[in-house]
Structure 1
């Protein structure tokens, strides 16, 4: 199995047809079919179900597709790093970002950076902090904008500040629930004390922040569910099980729901934003200079 075979396989998976894949690869159909068959024989599994007009991925094919995407992206990353080392400030910077930084920080920072380094291109992944850290760990991203907390032993970081407002980029926590959970509370904000006896649905990532804030207010939160996914929290809240506590920028992940959102007036539960990168891993000159632009006062 080699990179060329993986590229052939991915092209077929994307096109859904061997004929159109061969055309896209600028090769004839028989050699492409032969390479796919050799790949299946080497791996000892069937990757494709061949129909009269198209092909479908088997379960093994789906697994190989996902792994192949990572392998090829890592190969491209290695080539980019070597090219950058040889040529200097020309190449691509791969960035992951949460919504708050994507809106408030990244556009202006990228604009300023390109004024200094016009030959730099950018690829941006907008997602949640967990996904961004996963992409960093797999070498897909060079740097990532995430919300605290994160593993300080694994990542180096810079706390992000909005140079215009001179405030750190915080993402307040909000309470998301059906209307009946709020009873007589009509304001758009809610105090932590008002959630004292309410059934809470939380993400494990924010468990310590929430429990510490409640403890300082003199009560133990009534947590009925802990999970690893913001959408799950919102789904349970939409089912009427309890009140989901999530970052404000993640509170709109569910559409067509009857959920009400109220900002929690508790500064200790705000989640600060950081620019992070893997410790002790090669960083391109492009990434190093981009990081440095956050350390230097504008």
Structure 2
């Protein structure tokens, strides 16, 4: 059994389909079937039964699939410990980040860091902030970047703050906003709750949402094209010409702020490549 075999069990258990698993692993179906046969021979058991609708795991196969993830993590930790013994800075950092941070901030951070440490590579997972916290707790990543604080990590530091604002390519009055076309987008639940609360405090009418797009980047392009207004973090409209904005404020007159956090567990600083990255990010000028 090697890493690839545990990975096969892990993905096949999630997909329950040999064709899809082979595609995800970039191997042929015959090669995948051969590896499954090898796994079965190693443990002298039947791992899966094949049917028209996919595969079903036997009791023994279920057990092997459940331990596959922990076996993969153990091997990763062993590699990290061995790498840590090396005096040179090399290895792989596992990073999780919100799509907002990944698209608008992470590229320049990783580019600058790579210039300093060319032998350190990255494995980046982009997902919702809440799921980044879960990845950290499950030890699937070393470091996380989130735009909503779910309080799941013992070490979290604010990297930067930005106001949330109404943005439009056309001039507007605040009292007219409920009657103007709004471009909505998928975002983390905590951020949406704050925006919705602000709306209820200021308007009696629901927003006139004429577009619902998948992400902030798409919303930005729609605003830029003059197709409506959006309620967005201010950094996303940097560099756009002729954009009119209004900062959202709470009942005390304080700006509504969207924060971006750096998350990690304290023990990760024992991994040298993680520590140098954390120190680099803390001193980065965002």
Q: Verify same fold: TM over 0.5.
A: yes
Q: Hey, what does 1:115 align to over in structure 2?
A: 115
* TM superposition shift of 1:139: 0.9
Q: CA 1:193/1:86 → structure 2, altered by over 3 Å: closer, same or farther? A: farther
Post-superposition offset of 1:286: 1.2
Alignment CA distance shift 1:270-1:287 (3 Å): same
* 2:41 corresponds to: 34
Q: Is 2:96–2:144's contact at 8 Å kept on the other side of the alignment?
A: yes
Change (3 A) 1:32 1:155: closer
Deviation, structure 1 residue 120: 0.6
- Deviation, 1:250, is 7.4
1:206 aligns with 2:191: yes
2:251 aligned with 1:266: no
CA RMSD of aligned residues (A): 5.0
Matched, 1:136 2:162: no
Matched, 1:21 2:32: yes
Equivalent residue pairs, number = 245
Distance 1:63 1:188, change over 3 A: farther
Where 1:94 maps in the other structure, the secondary structure is strand
Query: Secondary structure of the equivalent of 1:20?
Result: helix
Partner of 1:106: 106
* CA distance in 1 between partners of 2:282 and 2:139 (Å): 23
Instruction: Decide whether the 8 Å contact of 1:143 with 1:277 is kept in 2.
Output: yes
Task: Give the distance between the partners of 2:39 and 2:284, measured in 1 at CA.
Answer: 55
The separation in 1 between residues aligned to 2:62 and 2:212, in whole angstroms, is 33
The verdict on how the C-alpha distance between 1:116 and 1:56 changes in structure 2, with shifts beyond 3 A counting, is same
By how many angstroms is 1:292 displaced?
Answer: 0.9
- The separation in 2 between residues aligned to 1:8 and 1:127, in whole angstroms, is 23
Q: CA deviation at 1:289?
A: 1.1
> For 1:7-54, what per-residue CA distance to the aligned partner results, in whole angstroms no more than 9, with x for missing partners?
56458743398742365x5xxx865443476164xxxxxx33167xxx
Distance 1:2 1:118, change over 3 A: closer
- After TM superposition, give the deviation of residue 136 of structure 1 in Å: 1.5
Q: Distance in 2 between matches of 1:110 and 1:15?
A: 31
CA contact (8 A) 2:159 2:261 kept: yes
Q: Deviations over 1:54-89 (max 9, x none)?
A: x93227799779756633442233123312332252
Aligned to 2:49: 48
Between the aligned partners of 1:207 and 1:123, the Cα distance in structure 2 is: 29
User: What's the CA shift for 1:174?
Assistant: 7.1
Q: What do residues 123-161 of structure 1 show as CA deviations (whole Å, max 9, x unaligned)?
A: 11122212222212211111111102x134624233334
- 1:71 is aligned to 2:70: yes
